[in-house]
Amino acid sequence: MAPPAQTVRSSSPSQPSGKGEVSDLKLQLRQLAGSRAPGVDDSKRELFKKVISYMTIGIDVSSLFGEMVMCSATSDIVLKKMCYLYVGNYAKVNPDLALLTINFLQRDCKDDDPMIRGLALRSLCSLRVANLVEYLVGPLESGLKDSNSYVRMVAVIGVLKLYHISASTCIDADFPATLKHLMLNDSDTQVVANCLSALQEIWSSGAATSEEASRERETLLSKPVVYYFLNRIKEFSEWAQCLLLELVAKYVPADSSEIFDIMNLLEDRLQHANGAVVLATIKVFLQLTLSMTDVHQQVYERIKAPLLTLVSSGSPEQSYAVLSHLHLLVMRAPYIFSSDYKHFYCQYNEPSYVKKLKLEMLTAVANESNTYEIVTELCEYAANVDIPIARESIRAVGKIALQQYDVNAIVDRLLQFLEMEKDYVTAEALVLVKDLLRKYPQWSHDCIAVVGNISSKNVQEPKAKAALIWMLGEYSQDMQDAPYILESLIENWEDEHSAEVRLHLLTAVMKCFFKRPPETQKALGAALAAGLADLHQDVHDRALFYYRLLQYDVTVGERVVNPPKQAVSVFADTQSSEIKDRIFDEFNSLSVVYQKPSYMFTDKEHRGPFEFSDELGNLSIGTESVDTTVPVHKVEANDKDLLLSTTEKEDTRGPINDGAYSAPSYDGSLVSLAAPQTQPEVATSNPSVKEHSQSSFAIDDLLGLGLPAAPAPAPSPPSLKLNSKAVLDPSTFQQKWRQLPISLSQEYSVSPQGVSALTTPQVLLRHMQTHSIHCIASGGQSPNFKFFFFAQKAEESSTFLVECIINTSSAKAQIKVKADDQSASQAFSSLFQSALSKFGTA
């Protein structure tokens, strides 16, 4: 009996179709309900199948509930199963009728056949009716003690189901404690795995409100528990292994020998045919070695081959999931993969989502030795029938050109693109040539010669048109026809739909005017007139601005529009390094596929076991011996504190991606980009520049507030010596910050000079650096600033970590110090304080 899918296409329950059939079924079921005639089970089976098939395609058959229950008195197991399936689906909407099923389900829970007991218990717990929970406790209690592992397996998940219907009933019956006992003692690995899943879910959802739950959740990560699982891991199913590995990835070993033991134990998991097991293992390896740079790099080398094998075996979907993770690793450490570039070549039959990832990887791994081959390959794709990929390939060539020092050959290729005479190729290439010129103005001569040959009529895409116009304005002295091309474009002002293009046109004609006034004067007049009449606010405003500027002083106008330009050294990264680190922390989760940290696409309660701040709360520091089976842990007050601070962090960061909490290296590039000479022009050029300018404006505003500083008394220098060249990567910092307890928490006053000098986070970090205290992340705006600093002892690699919150209106600095060597915290703190007190006096 097949579901009549062709006749009933809709899956909406409100669809009237099927009504007649349903009442028909009702009648037939009634007739069979009481019958004991031979063969009645077969007829019932047919009817039940019909009901289930209607249910599947979305016809509402809940009205048959009574009849289905009446027919359920049977020993036929196939019938029973269909009935359970039906009841599970509709009990929630028929709470009163659901009561009818309790009776027979409870009876079945006591059946001699363990399979019937298990099935009945599972269905009983799946009813999801709040006022029936009292009936669940008894059967669950006996189910957890059942001699058959199948029943126990079902009962453990049953406890979790009960928790979701009524948490208090579940807690009152002390089920979590029972599960914990089972988890550490049951002989069946699937029962153990289910206990772990259930407890993780129960304690995670309880952790927010209950001290005990969060304490219990921590014990799952204690050494005895983790070792108990690790030693038996191969007995578990591959799926349960993933669960265990996910747990191990959060465990913090006490020393490096422990780390190596775990890695050796799990080494052969990297050869597993199941990609999920391999990725979970890789996560463990990566997390464990975060603070050991050399080993971490070895891990990358080790996991390369297994990842590549997984990418090329299995279905396209599976290989995509693995490729996304490989992509993440390649973007993190391109140099490790630079000799593997051929593996990232696209195959003609791959879906575009795979090709896109590969193109990004090819771009990232390009270096001096492989660029020629990579670019040659990319140029093949540019002629591809798949236009979106052809475009991406051209962009990739451009990106490689922008990241290489020797761009000679690449520029030639790009110029060849322009000669290919395919609209989309020309469009992409124009945008690229423009970016290239902004970085390497020395190439202008070659490029302009080719660009000059392009007829503006063949360029339709706004971005490309804008790029062409920018070049016409910028290099109008070298392009003979520039004023006339601009003029003809201005004549068609009305037909130009893109405001971006019109804005560029205004700026370009201004630039051109200062370089070749007599030829451009007419065009400029026309452009300003058209601009002033433009309905688009920005276009109108810019035209007005230029108009008044010219009216005010032509030489000032020239300085504004045609200032001497500095080549752009680095284009802004689209993602901050902190976001990237966050995604890396959430390795082996959807975050990697979406290339977003989980808080951007998932609400709080669904972030799963991967969630970052969750993880922090989970961490424990301890070295209990392995033989204690039920370990007890104390919640470290500071861990909770840390949890708080990261959530704060998240909130402040949400809408603005950069700026707020970026790593210093990133800030550095921003500051250098914020060179004032590009500013006046900035608003007119392309979007990537706009990104810089927004942040640079903010910085400049703040810089403008800087007040002259007065000297302050310098405290005597303490005896501790710090390493002025200390290095620490952000992930190690994060790992350490989670691991270490707070050894010192203090509040200082900040001198008035310091307060007035602290206009942006950057000024303080530069100051602290002169005292060998380095910043790893900073953010905030007046009056609240927040910093994470680190420092290392001069003689040994003992690290100090500091969280420092400064409020300029109250002139207070709160610091929290964590240290490898806690005895030195006090000395470090006074050193920190003395450094801070000198701030603003220089």
Q: Is 332 in the site for another protein (CB under 8 A)?
A: no
What x/- string results for residues 64 through 83 when contact with another protein is judged by CB under 8 A?
Answer: -------------xx--xx-
Return the residue of 133, 225, 226, 280 that touches another protein, per CB under 8 A. Answer: 280
Please report, for residues 2, 418, 768, the alpha-carbon distance to residue 478 in angstroms, rounded to integers and kept in the order given.
75, 19, 48
Return the residue of 31, 312, 574, 810 that touches another protein, per CB under 8 A. Answer: 312
Cβ atoms of 510 and 473 closer than 8 Å: yes
Least distance (Å) between residue 16 CB and another protein: 17
Least distance (Å) between residue 13 CB and another protein: 7
Measured in degrees and rounded to the nearest 5, phi and psi for residue 793 equal -65, 150
Nearest to 205 by CA among 612, 615, 637, 608: 608
Cβ atoms of 155 and 146 closer than 8 Å: yes
What x/- string results for residues 24 through 53 when contact with another protein is judged by CB under 8 A?
Answer: -------------------------x--xx
Cβ atoms of 804 and 789 closer than 8 Å: yes
Per CB under 8 A, the segment of 33-41, 382-390, 448-456, 782-790 that binds another protein is 382-390
Residue 458's contacts (CB-CB under 8 Å, 6 or more residues apart) are 421, 423, 426
- Name the residue nearer to another protein (CB basis): 409 or 600: 600
Residue 304, both tokens: 């390369």
What is residue 721's three-state secondary structure?
Answer: coil
Residues 156-195 that bind another protein (CB under 8 A): 157, 160-161, 190, 194
Least distance (Å) between residue 308 CB and another protein: 6
Per CB under 8 A, the segment of 26-34, 344-352, 750-758, 799-807 that binds another protein is 344-352
Residue 727's contacts (CB-CB under 8 Å, 6 or more residues apart) are none
Return the residue of 350, 474, 578, 581 that touches another protein, per CB under 8 A. Answer: 350
Q: Is 278 in the site for another protein (CB under 8 A)?
A: yes
- Name the residue nearer to another protein (CB basis): 175 or 733: 175
Q: Is 334 in the site for another protein (CB under 8 A)?
A: no
Residues 199-258 that bind another protein (CB under 8 A): 201, 237-240, 242, 246
Alpha carbons 582 and 659: distance in angstroms, whole number: 16
Q: Is 421 in the site for another protein (CB under 8 A)?
A: yes
Residues 677-716 that bind another protein (CB under 8 A): none
Q: Is 275 in the site for another protein (CB under 8 A)?
A: yes
Q: Is 116 in the site for another protein (CB under 8 A)?
A: no
Q: Is 130 in the site for another protein (CB under 8 A)?
A: no
What is the CB-side half-sphere exposure of residue 471 using CA atoms within 13 A?
33
Partners of 662 in the β-ladder: 778
Cβ atoms of 117 and 111 closer than 8 Å: yes
Least distance (Å) between residue 644 CB and another protein: 22
- Name the residue nearer to another protein (CB basis): 321 or 407: 321
* DSSP assignment letter at 813: E
Alpha carbons 287 and 34: distance in angstroms, whole number: 63
Residue 182's contacts (CB-CB under 8 Å, 6 or more residues apart) are 144, 152, 156, 191, 192, 195
Per CB under 8 A, the segment of 32-40, 397-405, 602-610, 732-740 that binds another protein is 602-610
Per CB under 8 A, the segment of 85-93, 100-108, 466-474, 793-801 that binds another protein is 85-93
Partners of 791 in the β-ladder: 800
Q: Is 447 in the site for another protein (CB under 8 A)?
A: no
Least distance (Å) between residue 768 CB and another protein: 36
Per CB under 8 A, the segment of 54-62, 257-265, 557-565, 770-778 that binds another protein is 54-62
Return the residue of 420, 532, 656, 712 that touches another protein, per CB under 8 A. Answer: 420
Cβ atoms of 730 and 578 closer than 8 Å: yes
How many chain residues are in contact with another protein, going by CB under 8 A? Answer: 105
What is residue 353's three-state secondary structure?
Answer: helix
- Name the residue nearer to another protein (CB basis): 365 or 482: 365
Least distance (Å) between residue 509 CB and another protein: 33
Residues 457-516 that bind another protein (CB under 8 A): none
Residue 765, both tokens: 């970090």
Q: Is 556 in the site for another protein (CB under 8 A)?
A: no
Q: Is 353 in the site for another protein (CB under 8 A)?
A: yes
- Name the residue nearer to another protein (CB basis): 58 or 631: 58
Cβ atoms of 750 and 808 closer than 8 Å: yes
Please report, for residues 61, 309, 609, 619, the alpha-carbon distance to residue 639 in angstroms, rounded to integers and kept in the order given.
52, 40, 18, 8
Return the residue of 258, 386, 538, 641 that touches another protein, per CB under 8 A. Answer: 386
Q: Is 333 in the site for another protein (CB under 8 A)?
A: no
Alpha carbons 8 and 836: distance in angstroms, whole number: 75
- Name the residue nearer to another protein (CB basis): 111 or 201: 201
Cβ atoms of 476 and 449 closer than 8 Å: no
Residue 664, both tokens: 């210093």
Q: Is 598 in the site for another protein (CB under 8 A)?
A: yes
Q: How many residues does the chain have?
A: 842
Q: Is 271 in the site for another protein (CB under 8 A)?
A: yes
Alpha carbons 447 and 411: distance in angstroms, whole number: 8
Per CB under 8 A, the segment of 346-354, 626-634, 788-796, 798-806 that binds another protein is 346-354
In 39-63, which positions are buried (b, 16+ CB within 10 angstroms) versus exposed (e)? ebbeebbebbebbbbbbebbbbbbe
